[in-house]
């Protein structure tokens, strides 16, 4: 019946429409009876699918008003509303339009169909403009969709014009159109902001990751390791597991893909693992900074969609495990981000306890290694509208997320906030062109903070959506005047000093990356080993990681402002320790430290890099506690070994003084071990002074290496 009424309205429209509007009537197409009949058949088929799709669409809008008390504010809300019906409507409607391109209502329908299927396509705006030129009153809401189409094409003033035109109509019926009025006022504000942002664009390079990562199919939702050596993402390709299509939108089911960087180039992407990818939708929802844990989104049909965790074990990923009830609910949980130390997880949910449509939550890991009760991050970040795609930077204080609220310019925009003294700063819009008038989501940032990765449907890509890299260039350097220009300027306006422009520097993240490969010292075979990260000032183990059993690789992120101890441990091997003092405010650094662990064998020597003494004294400093505890555990676990504990100095000072100081220090360590229950018969204290250097004494770094405490296994 709806189809019939719509068709009758279609044919009767000529009575009241503009003269340039052409209806599908025989008088308008003399001598083309058969063509007209065929076009009308195509039109009827298209209208039937259009009406069904429009009903689904309107139901979605009514749902948002009922459940969330506002209209959808981005195309993302409508992404699958009636998609399949609109897709089937497109071909017959396009055929009818080829016969008669000057029908207002047909152009309106085609504009609407393109809006749902691909709003960034120029055909959306072309058809709405055509409908408006032929008959601006063809549908009551044409001005709204025309305004939104201009909005999506960054034609801010045109968008404002039509939004205001439709707003005037809604305001005449204010009581029954409160939500439409709110939506229109918000969109007008977005356009005004968009004009300002576009007038002062951010200086960035945007580069497609290339055909080894992207394809003719959609790629999106990238996650990267902190060192940018691995990207994991979601794609809907024809080689997806099961090679099946989703009935809702006719696209292939999602699978998770991976690409690794080799010699600076991305290698051909492949499906991640059969343990991760199933016949249904499997989407990448987040990745731990070291790349050892992957978070996967799946929709089982029993609830809104849940999160799963998969661990990289050797060369393959383990089957994803459903996350606990503190994370997953009967509602929709989506993106995930884990803190650098692995003790806090951030995620997005639309559960009822939220402040708005979708909120960002966090959970702390308890003593049992389980995620505890979820807490809302608060109103500084979460709005009455939707937040999505949370990403916590490894520096531990900077969060990136997408939001339809705050000072956005359309759809989801990407924002940045910083944790200062336990409170989140006001979210900062990353600006244009990073943010555009459509949805900008799933934005992840490198460890350095100078690059980011995101997905976009930009023109010129390989497919519908591709993965891109953004390089932040920092503020523009002002051009210097030439010598002649300076002389002219000085005559006109003398000054006491001439200052040249300093080099422009891109702000870097306050984090250090430590990475490398752990191997057996004799065989060079990769080892899985435990890595303890210690806050030496607090004598507290703040995180524990493992190197990969197949490759031996590890990656640890170290936010600035702490004195860190690193200990690498494995059964039947001597532990290895390192020290990194990263002062507050230190910029991004990256260290590669390969570690060759030594078996517990006679003659093996280990440097205890986290034993510290007061200056020029033999007094052991408190931050040595964890290193000494590791040595005590090693001796208790191997009760038959006997060790020499030695101390060494650099060449500064007299030979006699250095020998005496080193001897006193080695005895201090031995005395500490005896006091902790280690038999004195298993310990030999020896001071070598400056007699056994391992580095030059001509540099500060060399002298630092020579000042060391070691132990050597004498008996086993």
| Of the listed ranges 25-39, 134-148, 247-261, 267-281, the one predicted with least confidence | 247-261
pLDDT of residue 464: 77
Domain 510-599 matching CATH 3.40.50.720: the answer reads no
Q: What are 716's two structure tokens?
A: 């086993």
In this structure, are residues 268 and 259 in contact, taking their beta carbons and an 8 Å threshold? yes
In this structure, are residues 388 and 335 in contact, taking their beta carbons and an 8 Å threshold? yes
In this structure, are residues 3 and 109 in contact, taking their beta carbons and an 8 Å threshold? no
Can you tell me the mean pLDDT for 405-417?
A: 92
Give me the chain's average pLDDT, please: 86
With residue 187 as reference, give the H or E element that holds it: helix 178-199
Find how far residue 698's CA is from the centre of its chain.
Answer: 45
Rounded Cα distance, 560 and 584, in Å: 5
pLDDT of residue 581: 85
Rounded Cα distance, 295 and 342, in Å: 13
Q: Is the pLDDT at 143 greater than 70, yes or no? A: yes
Q: What are 701's two structure tokens?
A: 């770094």
Band of pLDDT at residue 506, cut at 50, 70 and 90: very low
Rounded Cα distance, 217 and 461, in Å: 10
Residue 670's CB is within 10 A of a number of other CB atoms, namely 20
| Domain locations along the chain | 2-199, 204-472, 510-599, 600-716
Q: Which of 85, 208, 168 is nearest to 471 (CA)?
A: 208
Can you tell me the mean pLDDT for 216-233?
A: 92
How would you label 549-576 residue by residue, b for 16+ Cβ within 10 Å and e otherwise?
Answer: eeebbbbbbbbbebbbbbbbbbeebbbb
Q: Is the pLDDT at 319 greater than 60, yes or no? A: yes
**Sign of torsion over alpha carbons 596, 598, 604, 609:** positive
In this structure, are residues 690 and 648 in contact, taking their beta carbons and an 8 Å threshold? yes
Q: What is the pLDDT of residues 690-705, one digit of tens each?
A: 999 999 999 988 998 8
Rounded Cα distance, 327 and 364, in Å: 11
In this structure, are residues 564 and 534 in contact, taking their beta carbons and an 8 Å threshold? yes
Q: Is the pLDDT at 244 greater than 90, yes or no? A: no
pLDDT of residue 519: 96
pLDDT of residue 588: 83
Rounded Cα distance, 232 and 257, in Å: 6
With residue 647 as reference, give the H or E element that holds it: strand 642-648
| Whether the bond into 433 is cis, omega within 30 of 0 | yes
For the chain, percent of residues with pLDDT exceeding 90: 60
Rounded Cα distance, 262 and 536, in Å: 36
Can you tell me the mean pLDDT for 122-129?
A: 93
**DSSP single-letter state for residue 267:** P
Q: What is the pLDDT of residues 286-311, one digit of tens each?
A: 999 888 999 999 976 666 789 999 99
Rounded to a whole number, what is the distance in angstroms from the first to the last CA of the chain?
Answer: 92
Domain spanning 2-199, CATH class: mainly alpha
Burial class of residue 376, CB neighbours in 10 A (0-12, 13-18, 19+): middle
Band of pLDDT at residue 71, cut at 50, 70 and 90: low
Rounded Cα distance, 451 and 469, in Å: 7
In this structure, are residues 82 and 194 in contact, taking their beta carbons and an 8 Å threshold? no
Domain spanning 600-716, CATH class: alpha beta
Rounded Cα distance, 683 and 639, in Å: 12
Burial class of residue 282, CB neighbours in 10 A (0-12, 13-18, 19+): buried
Q: Is the pLDDT at 36 greater than 90, yes or no? A: yes
Q: Is the pLDDT at 92 greater than 60, yes or no? A: yes
Rounded Cα distance, 352 and 374, in Å: 13
Find how far residue 356's CA is from the centre of its chain.
Answer: 22
pLDDT of residue 491: 43
CA distances in angstroms from 57 to 79, 85, 112, 113, listed in the order given: 10, 10, 11, 11
Q: For the chain, what is the radius of gyration of the CA atoms?
A: 33
Q: Among all chains, which residue has been given the structure tokens 């005496």?
A: 660
pLDDT of residue 70: 60
Q: Which of 76, 610, 490, 532 is nearest to 341 (CA)?
A: 532
Q: Is the pLDDT at 498 greater than 70, yes or no? A: no
Q: Among all chains, which residue has been given the structure tokens 């990769």?
A: 526
pLDDT of residue 634: 92
Rounded Cα distance, 417 and 400, in Å: 7
Rounded Cα distance, 328 and 284, in Å: 16
**DSSP single-letter state for residue 329:** -
Rounded Cα distance, 199 and 191, in Å: 12
CA distances in angstroms from 252 to 219, 299, 455, listed in the order given: 12, 15, 18
Q: What is the pLDDT of residues 327-359, one digit of tens each?
A: 999 988 989 999 888 889 999 998 988 888 889
Can you tell me the mean pLDDT for 460-468?
A: 85
In this structure, are residues 346 and 390 in contact, taking their beta carbons and an 8 Å threshold? yes
Q: What are 190's two structure tokens?
A: 């977005």
DSSP for 137-177, written as a single string: TSSTTHHHHHHHHHHHTT-HHHHHHHHHHHHHHHHTTGGG-
Find how far residue 312's CA is from the centre of its chain.
Answer: 19
**DSSP single-letter state for residue 70:** S
| Of the listed ranges 140-154, 177-191, 203-217, 574-588, the one predicted with least confidence | 574-588
pLDDT of residue 542: 84
pLDDT of residue 135: 95
In this structure, are residues 667 and 618 in contact, taking their beta carbons and an 8 Å threshold? yes
Fold of 204-472: Neuraminidase (2.120.10)
pLDDT of residue 695: 92
**Sign of torsion over alpha carbons 199, 205, 211, 213:** negative
In this structure, are residues 364 and 344 in contact, taking their beta carbons and an 8 Å threshold? yes
Q: What are 47's two structure tokens?
A: 């209208």
Q: Which of 396, 469, 470 is nearest to 233 (CA)?
A: 469
Q: Which of 424, 553, 20, 474 is nearest to 545 (CA)?
A: 553
Q: Is the pLDDT at 494 greater than 50, yes or no? A: no
Can you tell me the mean pLDDT for 111-127?
A: 87
Q: In the chain, count H helices and then E strands.
A: 12, 35
Band of pLDDT at residue 265, cut at 50, 70 and 90: very high
């Amino acid at each position: 019946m709806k189809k019939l009424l719509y068709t009758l309205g279609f044919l009767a429209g000529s009575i009241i429409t503009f003269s340039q509007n052409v209806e599908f009537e025989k008088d308008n197409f003399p001598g083309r009876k058969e063509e007209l009949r065929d076009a009308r058949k195509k039109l009827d088929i298209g209208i039937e699918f259009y009406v069904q799709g429009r009903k689904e669409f309107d139901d979605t809008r009514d749902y948002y008003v009922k459940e969330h008390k506002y209209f959808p504010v981005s195309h993302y809300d409508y992404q699958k509303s009636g998609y399949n019906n609109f897709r089937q409507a497109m071909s017959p409607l396009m055929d009818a339009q080829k016969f008669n391109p000057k029908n207002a209502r047909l152009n309106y329908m085609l504009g609407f169909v393109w809006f749902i299927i691909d709003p960034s396509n120029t055909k959306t705006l072309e058809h709405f403009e055509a409908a408006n030129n032929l008959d601006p009153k063809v549908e009551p809401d044409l001005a709204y969709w025309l305004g939104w189409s201009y909005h999506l094409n960054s034609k801010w003033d045109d968008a404002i014009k039509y939004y205001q035109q439709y707003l005037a109509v809604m305001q005449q019926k204010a009581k029954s159109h409160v939500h439409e009025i709110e939506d229109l006022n918000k969109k007008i504000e977005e356009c005004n902001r968009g004009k300002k942002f576009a007038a002062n664009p951010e200086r960035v390079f945007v580069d497609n990751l290339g055909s080894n990562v992207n394809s003719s199919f959609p790629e999106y939702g990238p996650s990267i390791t902190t060192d940018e050596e691995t990207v994991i993402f979601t794609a809907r390709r024809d080689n997806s597991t099961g090679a099946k299509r989703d009935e809702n939108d006719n696209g292939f089911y999602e699978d998770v893909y991976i690409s690794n960087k080799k010699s600076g180039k991305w290698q051909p992407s492949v499906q991640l693992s059969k343990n991760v990818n199933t016949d249904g939708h499997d989407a990448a929802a987040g990745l731990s900074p070291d790349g050892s844990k992957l978070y996967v989104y799946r929709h089982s049909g029993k609830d809104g969609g849940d999160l799963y965790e998969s661990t990289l074990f050797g060369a393959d990923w383990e089957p994803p495990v459903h996350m606990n009830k503190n994370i997953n609910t009967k509602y929709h949980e989506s993106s995930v981000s884990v803190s650098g130390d692995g003790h806090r997880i951030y995620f997005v949910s639309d559960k009822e306890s939220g402040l708005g449509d979708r909120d960002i939550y966090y959970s702390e890991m308890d003593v049992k290694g389980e995620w505890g009760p979820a807490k809302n991050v608060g109103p500084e970040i979460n709005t009455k509208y939707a937040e999505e795609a949370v990403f916590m930077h490894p520096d531990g204080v900077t969060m990136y997320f997408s939001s339809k609220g705050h000072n956005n310019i359309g759809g989801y925009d990407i924002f940045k906030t910083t944790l200062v003294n336990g409170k989140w700063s006001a979210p900062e819009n990353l600006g244009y062109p990073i943010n555009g008038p459509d949805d900008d989501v799933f934005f992840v940032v490198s460890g350095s903070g100078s690059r980011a990765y995101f997905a976009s449907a930009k023109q010129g890509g390989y497919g519908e959506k591709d993965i891109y890299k953004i390089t932040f260039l920092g503020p523009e350097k002002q051009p210097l005047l030439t010598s002649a220009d300076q002389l002219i300027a000085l005559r006109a306006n003398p000054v006491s000093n001439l200052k040249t422009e300093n080099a422009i520097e891109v702000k870097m993240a306050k984090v250090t990356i430590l990475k490398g490969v752990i191997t057996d010292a004799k065989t060079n075979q990769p080892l899985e080993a435990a890595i303890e990260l210690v806050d030496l000032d607090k004598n507290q183990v703040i995180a524990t990681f493992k190197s990969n059993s197949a490759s031996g690789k590890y990656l640890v992120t170290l936010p600035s402002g702490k004195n860190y101890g690193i200990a690498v441990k494995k059964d039947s091997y001597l532990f290895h320790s390192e020290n990194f003092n990263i002062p507050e405010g230190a910029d991004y650094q990256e260290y590669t430290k390969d570690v060759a662990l030594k078996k517990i064998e006679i003659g093996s020597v280990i440097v205890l890099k986290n034993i510290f003494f007061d200056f020029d004294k033999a007094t052991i400093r408190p931050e040595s506690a964890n290193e000494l505890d590791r040595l005590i555990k090693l001796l208790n676990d191997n009760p038959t070994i006997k060790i020499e504990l030695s101390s060494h100095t650099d060449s500064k000072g007299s030979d006699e003084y250095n020998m005496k100081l080193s001897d006193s220090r080695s005895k201090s360590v031995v005395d500490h071990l005896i006091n902790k229950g280690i038999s004195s018969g298993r310990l030999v204290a020896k001071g070598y002074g400056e007699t056994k250097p391992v580095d030059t004494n001509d540099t500060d770094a060399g002298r630092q290496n020579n000042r060391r405490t070691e132990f050597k296994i004498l008996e086993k």
